[in-house]
């Protein structure tokens, strides 16, 4: 694994591991030991990879398992925006690595799709740390985790998954994708910090949004909501147009189509 030229020039560091329980968990341990980044952790193999809500993330060899430690992103309140920053960067990195092959999209809140099937995911975590400043004794360090099916897609899942290898013989391997992704994420972070803030990230995210304008259902802890995916709002919440009016959703699992549909769903 190698960083892209821009990432190297900007002082980003890389820790490449043969095996780890989870790159996000290792990042957390390093932060607790004093690491503040920017540092990428990449592992050839994860033994206990996990996604959002603690769900298992299957990590076969040949796929990309990576996490970025980032300690200078600003106030903790803006940390959730980094998930959208990472999504936009992933689209840029994937297109650069594949030469534009494949139809990539972003599924709210944290999935990467290839031709409608799950290609990868983003896991954003925020770790509180002491600052040594009496006026603001606690700060935040973000962990941006990215998993991408490069060589192999998991089987026997309740949804369709796909690997980059399905594009054909010119599909990039995990190392090539990571090199492009490390530069793309740095560029996208600068776009976010450069004056336009989240508004520019939101515009870019919506350009690649899956199911925009389509009828979807959103699984919430106590109910399932259906309606047309209208947009995401100024802080990244999903805006659903339902028969009872507009519904703003902070977190949930999105699937395509009404509840009675038997085909076309992606989870």
Same domain, 21 and 148: yes
User: Domain for residue 226, yes or no?
Assistant: yes
Same domain, 185 and 219: no
| Residue 105 φ/ψ, nearest 5 degrees | -150, 165
- Count of structural domains, the chain: 2
- Whether the model clears a pTM of 0.75, i.e. scores above it, the answer is yes
186 touches 37 (CB < 8 A): no
User: Domain for residue 230, yes or no?
Assistant: yes
Same domain, 125 and 242: no
Give the domain CATH number at 177.
3.30.930.10
Q: Residue 194 has what pLDDT?
A: 74
* Residue ranges in the chain whose pLDDT is less than 70: 50-58, 134, 136-137, 195-196, 257-267
Give the domain CATH number at 229.
2.30.30.100
Expressed as residue numbers, the domain containing 24 is 5-207
Q: Residue 215 has what pLDDT?
A: 95
Same domain, 195 and 161: yes
97: exposed, middle or buried (Cβ count in 10 Å: 0-12, 13-18, 19+): buried
Strand partners, 104: 114
Same domain, 193 and 141: yes
Same domain, 143 and 223: no
Give 193-253 as a DSSP string. Answer: HTTSHHHHHHHHHHHTBTTTTSEEEEE-SS-EEEEEEEEE-TTS-EEEEETTEEEEESS-E
> Starting at the edge strand that comes first in sequence, how are the strands of the sheet with 64-70 ordered?
13-20, 39-46, 64-70, 138-148, 117-130, 111-114, 104-107
Same domain, 75 and 140: yes
| 78 torsion bin: left (phi>0), alpha (psi -120 to 50), beta (else) | alpha
The count of other CB atoms within 10 Å of the CB of residue 244 is 8
User: At which of 172, 191, 207 does a domain end?
Assistant: 207
Q: Residue 261 has what pLDDT?
A: 36
Residue 193 in tokens? 């910090």
Q: Residue 56 has what pLDDT?
A: 66
Same domain, 236 and 178: no
Give 105-170 as a DSSP string. Answer: EEETTTEEEETTEEEEEEEEEEEEEE-S-TTS-EEEEEEEEEEE-SS----S-SS-B--GGGG-TT
Same domain, 121 and 44: yes
Q: Is 4 helix (H, G, I), strand (E, B) or coil?
A: coil
């Amino acid at each position: 694994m190698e960083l892209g030229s821009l990432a190297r020039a900007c002082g980003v560091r890389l820790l490449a591991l043969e095996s780890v329980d989870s790159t996000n968990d290792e990042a957390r341990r390093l932060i607790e030991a004093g690491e503040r980044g920017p540092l990428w952790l990449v592992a050839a193999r994860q033994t206990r990879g996990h996604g959002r809500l603690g769900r298992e993330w299957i990590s076969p060899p040949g796929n990309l398992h990576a996490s970025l430690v980032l300690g200078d992103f600003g106030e903790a309140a803006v940390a959730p925006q980094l998930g959208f920053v990472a999504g936009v960067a992933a689209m840029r990195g994937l297109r650069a690595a594949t030469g534009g092959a494949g139809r990539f999209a972003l599924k709210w809140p944290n999935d990467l799709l290839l031709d409608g099937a799950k290609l990868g995911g983003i896991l954003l975590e925020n770790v509180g740390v002491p600052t040594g400043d009496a006026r603001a004794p606690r700060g935040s360090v973000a962990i941006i985790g990215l998993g991408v099916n490069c060589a192999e897609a998991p089987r026997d899942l309740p949804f369709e998954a796909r690997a980059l290898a399905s594009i054909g013989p010119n599909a990039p391997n995990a190392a090539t994708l990571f090199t492009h992704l490390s530069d793309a994420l740095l560029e996208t972070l600068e776009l976010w910090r450069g004056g336009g803030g989240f508004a520019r990230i939101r515009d870019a995210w919506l350009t690649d949004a899956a199911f925009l304008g389509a009828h979807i259902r959103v699984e919430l802890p106590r109910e399932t909501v259906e309606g047309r995916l209208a947009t995401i709002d100024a802080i990244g919440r999903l805006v659903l147009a339902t028969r009872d009016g507009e519904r703003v959703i902070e977190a949930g699992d999105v699937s395509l189509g009404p509840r009675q549909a038997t085909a076309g769903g992606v989870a």
